[in-house]
Amino acid sequence: MTKSTGQAINPKYILRWWAEAGVDVAIDDEPHDRFAEPPPAASAPPARLPTASAPAAAAQTRAAPRIEQAASSSPDEAVRSARELTARAASLDELRDALEKFEGCGLKATATQLVFSDGAPDARVMLVGEAPGGDEDRIGKPFVGRAGQLLDRMLAAIGLDRSKVYIANVVPWRPPGNRTPTLQETAICLPFIQRQIELVDPDLLVCLGASSAQTLLGVKDGITRARGKWFEYKSGERTIQALAMLHPAYLLRQPAQKRLAWRDLRALASALAERPPRS
Ligand code: URA
């Protein structure tokens, strides 16, 4: 590539420019000049994934990323299918299998793998974050990057660790470039996290960050106002006490706010101590 001056631009800088713009996932081997392609005919059938019985179609659609399959069902259909699948999942293993097979969320196409959970399924405390980041996407477990390491230290400060808590995210696939999941992606994934909470059935729920608190607790205020407050989360027949907390990734950027997180952790520890474990 050359600048208008005719000078070559080092591809390293172009890559860095794309990465900083949030483009960090290659979804095809070859670049496509979409502007040079004719617009699709109005009556053209929607793109389909290649099937074993249609090798010619496979060759034709090789350039079409998997994301098109997810996009071919409407968001309403995806939510309906998510609800049906989750209603049938009688255990966390079945829920995980259902998510592995679910094709209704486009994020699955760009993520490396599903990031389902970490920790103890019989834990009294369940923490829910927003969505996996790059480290989580690579390793397949929630909160294993820098924010996760801070979360581990925060839990250790009140005598907890991953053998005593259960951790998941509202959205179980990494959004490209670590962007915030869209409202539509969140709505599609919501039945899964709701069922996950129901199956874990914790005594206390902790929503980490604005996205989790808004989605699960209906918080309208910003997280800096909602943090430290207790909410009631309805889960099946039960009402679970839920605490909104600052996200550890935010605390990495705003270390002065750790004093607020410490206050919330102490409230969590007291709530846990006050409640006898359910038999
Ligand atoms: N941030 C989240 O919300 N979840 C993770 O798993 C990691 C970072």
181 C-beta closer than 6 A to ligand 1: no
260 in Cβ contact with 246 (< 8 Å)? yes
Residue 129: burial class (beta carbons within 10 Å; 0-12, 13-18, 19+): buried
245 in Cβ contact with 221 (< 8 Å)? no
Would you say the pTM of this structure is higher than 0.85?
Answer: no
Residue 139 and residue 3: Cα distance in Å, rounded?
Answer: 39
249 C-beta closer than 6 A to ligand 1: yes
DSSP 173-196: SPPGGGPPPPHHHHHHHHHHHHHH
129 C-beta closer than 6 A to ligand 1: yes
Residue 196 and residue 213: Cα distance in Å, rounded?
Answer: 16
191 C-beta closer than 6 A to ligand 1: no
Q: Which residue has the tokens 């915030």?
A: 180
C-alpha neighbours within 13 Å on the C-beta side of residue 126: 26
87 in Cβ contact with 73 (< 8 Å)? no
Atom of ligand 1 nearest to the CA of 208: 3
212 C-beta closer than 6 A to ligand 1: no
Name the strand (E) or helix (H) holding 17: helix 11-20
- Report residue 23: phi and psi, to 5°: -95, 100
Q: Which two tokens stand for residue 62?
A: 């090789």
Distance 210 CA to ligand 1 centre (A): 12
pLDDT in single tens digits along all 279 residues of the chain? 555 566 777 777 777 777 666 666 666 666 766 667 766 555 444 333 333 333 333 333 333 344 434 545 799 999 999 999 999 999 999 999 999 999 999 999 999 999 999 999 999 999 999 999 999 999 999 999 999 999 999 999 999 999 999 999 999 999 999 999 999 999 999 999 999 999 999 999 999 999 999 999 999 989 999 999 999 999 999 999 999 999 999 999 999 999 999 999 999 999 999 998 876
Instruction: Tell me the domains of the chain and their CATH numbers.
Output: 66-274 (3.40.470.10)
Distance 91 CA to ligand 1 centre (A): 23
Pocket test for ligand 1, best of 127, 150, 154, 169 (most atoms within 8 A of CB): 169
Distance 167 CA to ligand 1 centre (A): 10
Residue 212 and residue 228: Cα distance in Å, rounded?
Answer: 14
Distance 68 CA to ligand 1 centre (A): 26
Q: Which residue has the tokens 């660790």?
A: 161
Residue 123 and residue 265: Cα distance in Å, rounded?
Answer: 17
Q: Which residue has the tokens 């980041």?
A: 133
